[in-house]
Each structure stands twice: as C-alpha cells, then as structure tokens.
Amino acid sequence: MRIISGQFKGRRISAPKNLPVRPTTDMSKESLFNILNNHFDFDGLRILDLFSGTGNISYEFGSRGAEHIVSVDADFGCVKFIKQTAAEFGFPITAIKASVLSFLEKASGQYDIIFADPPYDMAQKDFEKIVLAVFEKGLLSEEGMMVIEHSKYTLMDALPNFSFQKNYGGSRFTFFEFPGSEEESRD
C-alpha cells in the first residue's frame, strides 16, 4: 500500500501478510480522497476509521494533516501494526482494539469524517446498525460526512441521512451527511 498525497506522498507501507484484511485499493482510495478533498480541508480534522485493518485510510488522513485520528479494529495484529506505523510516521492516530459495534455503543465526541470498511460479507442489519449508531450518538459533526465502503450487493441508500454513492468495480462508497450539508458543501 502507498500513501497517495500529503506530507508522505509516495511512501510505501508494507503490512504483515498474516493480517485478516482486504485493504482499499489505491485506485479506490484515490477516488475517495478526490471526493473528500472537494468537501474538506484536511488540516485539523477529527477522523474515526472503523474496521481500520492495516490503517491504510488512517495513514492517508494523517499524511494530509488530520489533527486526531481514531482507528478501531477487532484484530490485535492490526491494532499493533497501526500503532507501530503511526509512531514511525508521527501520525496522530489512537488505535483501539474493539469490536466496532461495541465501540460505537460507548463512543463519545464528534468526528468530521467517519470512514467504515466492514467485511463485505457482514450482515445487512449490521451495516445499518453502524449508520444508525453514528447518527443516534451524535458522533458526526454537523458539517461532517460518513463514508462506508461495501460491496455493490449491500444496499445503503434507504438509510437516514443517505447522501450519494460512487461505484468502483465491485466496491461501492456510500456517503451520509446531515440534511442541508450536502448542498452547502457542493456550492
């Protein structure tokens, strides 16, 4: 995996082969960040990266100047790797070992961008629980955006605060925002 922009643009990061992950491809990641770049100035943002795996998305936010990044994953090896990589690069990442749903039950604070990349075979109802928990707990800032990466077979467009979707091969990014923030941020 490589960092595609920011302070560490072009740097390659080699994750251990034994991690149970499906990293976001560089092409999909570049497309995602092109969209986010049109909505946000990354300097000073607070980021929540759920199902963070290797930390690929967290490192990209760190390279672009995010102020505080929380990476949550249930796998000890993933969390250990994220902590090591964050220390090596000096990224402001707090890596937490927890099931995402249990983390969301206890979470507080607000984030400008929440990114989730659950296993593609996760049950539809669990995808929905993630979105509902974020909005019910007030974890997304008023001008913030939540993005979920999932397979094209998972349907997310009927959920509250749905904004838009983008497809990249067999993957889809679904974006959620508070009503009114989409039109204002696209002006």
Q: If we measure between CA atoms, which residue out of 166, 176, 171 comes closest to residue 128? A: 176
Q: What is the pTM of this model?
A: 0.93
One-letter amino acid of 164: F
Residues 35-69 have pLDDT tens digits of 999 999 999 999 999 999 999 999 999 999 999 99
**Is residue 8 included in any domain, yes or no?**
no
**Is residue 20 included in any domain, yes or no?**
no
Quote the domain boundaries for residue 84: 42-186
How far is 89 from 106, CA to CA, in rounded Å?
A: 29
What residues contact residue 143 under an 8 Å CB cut-off, 6+ apart?
112, 178, 181, 184, 185
Q: What percent of the chain has pLDDT over 70?
A: 96
How far is 51 from 164, CA to CA, in rounded Å?
A: 21
Chain centroid offset of residue 138 CA: 17
**Is residue 24 included in any domain, yes or no?**
no
**Is residue 36 included in any domain, yes or no?**
no
User: What pLDDT was estimated at residue 184?
Assistant: 44
Residue 180's domain is classified under what CATH number?
3.40.50.150
Residues 116-171 have pLDDT tens digits of 999 989 999 999 999 999 999 999 999 999 999 999 889 999 999 999 999 987 88
Number of domains in the chain: 1
How far is 73 from 52, CA to CA, in rounded Å?
A: 6
**Is residue 30 included in any domain, yes or no?**
no
Distances in Å between the Cα of 9 and the Cα atoms of 2, 6, 63, 74, 116 are 8, 5, 7, 28, 23
**Is residue 157 included in any domain, yes or no?**
yes
**Is residue 105 included in any domain, yes or no?**
yes
Q: How many CB atoms lie within 10 A of CB 25?
A: 14
**Is residue 21 included in any domain, yes or no?**
no
- By residue count, the chain amounts to 187
User: What pLDDT was estimated at residue 29?
Assistant: 85
